[in-house]
Amino acid sequence: MFISSAREFHRRKKSHSTTDAATFADSDSLPVVVAVDGSESSFRATVWAAAEAILQRAPLHIIAFRLFSGGRCDSTWNDVGPILEAAVRAARAVMAGRGLLVTSQSATPPILPVLVAASRSARMLVVGGSMEGVNRASVGSVGTMLARHARCSVAVVPSEFDRAPCDRPVLVGIDGTECSLPGLAAAFDAASRRRVELIALDAWCDGNELSLPGACGSGGRGAATAPAVCLADWAERYPDVRVRRDLLCGNAARSLQRHSDLPQLLVIGHLGSVHALSEATISALLDVVRCPLLVARPR
């Protein structure tokens, strides 16, 4: 089932994209969208999003807002102007000379509906790991809700993250279910664009352990061959990507956490089903991962 689903996923991707292995998004006009609220974390996310826009050869769109204590709109709304200007300056400093468009807008909280709406015409939505005036638990909830409801892939950049060395690998979690497929597509694309190794953390369990985020099946699997076949299929499409498969049995979420200080990007897949991702698992990962987390979904 997993292998046939992988082949169908390949077929759908080919029908919506060029044959160039470096092309993942459906249209070059789709922007990378980043939310910024004036916090240090959101400016780090802006810098990361600008670098990602360069890799994707895509425009960058910045959505700025300002929260007051407790998540209410700041009474001095004009304060959002300097935030927007600072974010645009930071992005343009990264993207200087690349010929890529940087656009911006201000938004009024609540910000979640604004970002979900923006995701309908975005290739990726980027948010910081903490926001000014909002506690960490609330931010985790926002990240989880965006991962569940956004119409594009969502990247969450940890507040303590500084730009990782460019030679670090991309890490993708797979579990032998079709929910891994969007993650594999995004991870191969990310590794190819970055020209780095891809590590596939192939986690499975016997039914007594929590499976990978995105697990659609029940319990474990009888054999570990299906992910290997699927990896081989993707490796044929991305011959420039060196792949290393790490096989383990156990709690995949904790394994991803333990490995998150190694890669420059951690990728997991999402097929869009309301049951495809465990909110608790995603929220737990958002709280503990030490590198940007990309929850990938197909367009």
| pLDDT per residue as tens digits for the range 234-257 | 999 999 999 999 877 766 677 777
pLDDT at 275: 40
* Mean pLDDT, the chain, whole residue set: 77
> What Å distances lie between residue 118 and 28, 39, 80, 179, 294, CA to CA?
16, 21, 19, 24, 17
Summarize the confidence of residues 14-38 as an average pLDDT. 61
Summarize the confidence of residues 256-269 as an average pLDDT. 86
Q: Where are the domains of the chain?
A: 32-68+79-157, 170-207+228-295
For residue 87, pLDDT over 60 is answered with yes
- Global pTM reads 0.80
Q: Which position has the higher pLDDT, 180 or 224?
A: 180
pLDDT at 232: 87
Specify the fold of 170-207+228-295. Answer: Rossmann fold (3.40.50)
Superfamily classification of domain 32-68+79-157: HUPs (3.40.50.620)
Q: In this predicted structure, which of 14-23, 49-58, 64-73, 146-155 has the lowest mean pLDDT?
A: 14-23
Full strand arrangement of the beta sheet holding 243-249: 102-106, 60-64, 32-36, 124-128, 153-157, 293-296, 265-269, 170-174, 198-204, 243-249
32-68+79-157 and 170-207+228-295 share one fold = yes
